[in-house]
Amino acid sequence: MSFFASRWVERPAHVREVAGLPAGFRAAGVAAGVKPSGAPDVALLVSDAPGTTSAARFTRSGVLAAPVLLCQERCRLDALRAVVANSGNANAATGRRGLDDAAKVQGAGAAAAGVAPEQVAVASTGVIGVPLPAQAVVGGLAAARRLLGETGDASMSEAIRTTDAFAKHASLEVELPGGTVRLAAQAKGAGMISPAFATLLCFIETDAAMSAETADLLLGATCARSFERASVDGQLSTNDTVLLLASGLSGVQVAPETQDELRLGEALDALLRQLALMVLADGEGARRVGRVVVHGGHPLHVEAAARAVADSPLVKTALHGGDPNWGRIAQALGMALPGTAPLPFDVAIEGVKLCSGGGAVPYDQSDLAGKVSRDEVEYVVGLPGEGAETEVFFSDLGHDYITINAEYTS
């Protein structure tokens, strides 16, 4: 099965799937004892190229995990050479000790990678408010160092899983006008996703050569169209971290405002959109993924309406049940746009018009019932006016979300 499985993501013609990391990168994932289950929980990614450039995006939460604070305060985010990530513990709301633990992990990562500490990013995911077993992570790094390999992205993807039902990674070969480069990414995320990009960790590597500014521009533009448009439960995380590292070892230079930059951006865009959809499909207990498209005359109204629909537990449970209950779309729109009644809105699900000008219209129930039972369901909402349009992707809300989150335990 192709990595690009969603109908909402098109594989660009100049992209093909391969295996392993881009030139210059090695990775490994190991079981270090952070998780009581004994599952893999520590990952190490290293770039062997001294001229590696990088870019980063983090959660906007007011409660930042120690590794996020450390990255923001003590890393050269434009020149990262290594990443240490652990699952099983978020090292969030852990105070002064948490920062010390994160620094300890960063130092051990620097030793393992043979680079300066400020070139090592750290990322954690797991339970909040429990001290990080830093010594276990440090021990894991020594083991991971010995296992570093060019196809270590698979084990790295395993080691960053928490409630993820499956690992999420891909490697692509991208044909640019200037030559062929590689692009790979490993992501994790299942719950606590949105409105920014989640208890999501995503590490992206390429052997294209580019300035840190270009890396930052590409990462920002593609995050905005992928992870930032995805909602599992509307809950912003303390730990979201997305990093892009470019080793340059392909020898192909990606200069600003060139066809190379455009083509690489298209590949990165498809890669991150598909990963975001995989995170949603893995949304704790998810059965289906929805896409809501809202158009109208006012950008803020369109955005508020799309978020309200995507975040609504009523819409999400209806999606879970395969129930075309568009009344809940109406409810969400009203909540997003107070004081606008009577609002003449339109609703279509899977191309079937259900509501026009704010009132119900007749439709073929059995036809629609079949359509909303598929893996992907599309909702289109029309608000008055034109010129503005947006989309948000979301998972359904089912029993497994309750089971997972009622029993996650602190």
Residue with tokens 């009577």: 342
Compute the least distance from the CB of residue 350 to its own copies, in Å.
Answer: 14
> Binding string, 214-253, against its own copies, x = CB under 8 A?
-------------------xxxxxx---------------
Q: Considering the complex, state which of residue 32 and residue 333 has its C-beta at the smaller distance from its own copies.
A: 333
Alpha-helix residue ranges (DSSP H) falling in 127-192: 134-147, 153-159
Candidates 31, 64, 75, 280: give the one binding its own copies (CB under 8 A).
64
Distances (CA, A) of 64 to 5, 82, 129, 162, 396: 34, 21, 12, 19, 27
Distances (CA, A) of 282 to 99, 287, 342, 400: 31, 8, 38, 11
Footprint (CB under 8 A) of its own copies, residues 342-381: 342-343, 345, 354-355, 357-360
Compute the least distance from the CB of residue 408 to its own copies, in Å.
Answer: 6
The dihedral over CA atoms of 198, 199, 205, 206, expressed in degrees to the nearest 10, equals: 0
Compute the least distance from the CB of residue 393 to its own copies, in Å.
Answer: 18
Candidates 96, 257, 351, 366: give the one binding its own copies (CB under 8 A).
96
For residues 95 and 132, the answer to whether their CB atoms sit within 8 Å is: no
Nearest Cα to Cα of residue 388 among 292, 295, 293, 303: 295
Q: Check if 199 is active-site.
A: yes
69 binds its own copies (CB under 8 A): yes
Q: Considering the complex, state which of residue 69 and residue 142 has its C-beta at the smaller distance from its own copies.
A: 69
* CA–CA dist 61, 354 (Å, integer): 38
Alpha-helix residue ranges (DSSP H) falling in 148-258: 153-159, 212-224
The dihedral over CA atoms of 306, 312, 316, 319, expressed in degrees to the nearest 10, equals: -50
Single out the segment in contact with its own copies by CB under 8 A; choices: 14-22, 92-100, 268-276, 384-392: 92-100
Compute the least distance from the CB of residue 403 to its own copies, in Å.
Answer: 8
For residues 187 and 278, the answer to whether their CB atoms sit within 8 Å is: yes
Single out the segment in contact with its own copies by CB under 8 A; choices: 41-49, 154-162, 271-279, 328-336: 328-336
310 binds its own copies (CB under 8 A): no
62 binds its own copies (CB under 8 A): yes
SS3 354: strand
Q: Considering the complex, state which of residue 126 and residue 178 has its C-beta at the smaller distance from its own copies.
A: 126
Footprint (CB under 8 A) of its own copies, residues 132-171: none
Single out the segment in contact with its own copies by CB under 8 A; choices: 31-39, 110-118, 161-169, 308-316: 308-316
Q: Considering the complex, state which of residue 87 and residue 155 has its C-beta at the smaller distance from its own copies.
A: 87
Catalytic residues, by residue number, are 199
